[in-house]
Homo-oligomer: A and B are copies of this chain.
């Protein structure tokens, strides 16, 4: 299954043209060039060879929507870091102002073919599978709002630091849009904040303020916005003090059962998504939501 997904992703990369190529200087050997930019257009990656810490900055304007192109680049960038022996940890953050990620790109879910929906959903799954069980230490430096799929990305990291700006919010708000968070979003949230808080969060589609998110454990730490990157770096060095091998086995022991649940139902999960999103009522909900967004911006 993972292989099939990789093939799909590779195909997408080939299709996506020059933006997908490597950018910046620097070879594969650590030490020579301490900072290397190895990202793509929508995901800027900078790896510090001296510390082994990479920063992945999401740059998909205006709100870092998880489009098919973005997800493809994200997975490839992450896979490169995983395979780079000089890299031990990654800080995931946003290059956009006020937003970490707005979540799944509604344009990918509206008015497209069922084939497109299936390809998109497989890419969403692949992003989560890679991030949730990454061998790297993964720290989310959440410097903006993080609804739905953005919240999923944050929850999939090992540690979450949120800028304590009261205008920011985080949560799985799918039901507010008339859609349903899939079971593995739910599992990831249960693993983070427990069953009862998840039940209430998901049914009501709650978006939490930084103070509330910290109180229920949806994020681990709040810091003033200007300190988020330095705090992430400091926390990362704590995590890197632990021998990689023992930490990786421990992480896998904790997360593998949750990953295996999706792997066992991956194709049916895609089919569920496709048939759900193809419904007239859902398409109509999405249309209304998009019009509301347009009016807000206008």
A-to-B contact residues, CB < 8 Å: 1-3, 158-159, 174-183, 186, 190-196, 198-200, 202-205, 217, 220, 238-239, 242-243, 245-247, 249-251, 253-255, 265, 268, 272, 275-276, 281, 285
Known: A180-B249, A238-B204. A198 touches B254 (CB 8 A): yes
Q: Is the CB of B191 within 8 A of A199?
A: yes
Return chain B residues, CB-CB under 8 Å to A175.
Answer: 242-243, 246-247, 250
A interface, by DSSP: helix, strand, loop or mixed?
Answer: helix
| CB neighbours of A196 from chain B (8 A) | 191-194, 217
CB closest residue in chain B, given A175: B246
Return chain B residues, CB-CB under 8 Å to A190.
195
Cβ–Cβ contact B254 & A178, under 8 A: no
Q: Decide: A205 and B272 in contact? CB cutoff 8 A.
A: no
Contacts of A253 in B (CB 8 A): 180, 183, 186, 202
Given contacts A3-B268, A175-B246, A272-B1, contact A195 B199 (CB under 8 A): no
Alpha-carbon distance A281/B174, docked complex (angstroms): 47
- What is the bound-complex CA distance between A181 and B220, given in angstroms? 23
Q: A176 — which chain B residues lie within 8 A by C-beta?
A: 242
Q: Which of B178, B186, B198, B243 contacts A178 (CB 8 A)?
A: B243
Q: How far is the CA of A159 from the CA of B181 in the complex (A)?
A: 20
Q: B2 touching A242 by the CB < 8 A rule?
A: no
Are B174 and A246 closer than 8 Å at their CB atoms?
Answer: yes
Q: Which residues of B contact A191 (CB under 8 A)?
A: 195-196, 199
Q: Can you list 12 residue pairs at the A/B interface with Cβ under 8 Å?
A: A1-B265, A2-B180, A2-B272, A158-B203, A159-B200, A194-B195, A195-B254, A199-B255, A200-B220, A202-B254, A203-B242, A245-B281
A202 in contact with B250 given A1-B183, A191-B196, A195-B190 (CB within 8 Å): yes
In the complex where A193-B196, A195-B190, A203-B239 touch, is A246 in contact with B1 (Cβ < 8 A)? Answer: no
B217 contacts A180, C-beta separation under 8 Å: no
**Contact between B272 and A182, CB atoms less than 8 A apart:** no
Closest beta carbon of chain B to A24's beta carbon, Å? 30
Q: Is the CB of B182 within 8 A of A1?
A: yes
How far does the Cβ of A212 sit from chain B's closest Cβ, in whole Å?
14
Could you tell me the distance in whole angstroms from the C-beta of A179 to the nearest C-beta in chain B? 6
Nearest neighbor of A5 in chain B, beta-carbon distance: B180
Among A193, A199, A202, max chain B CB count under 10 A is at A199
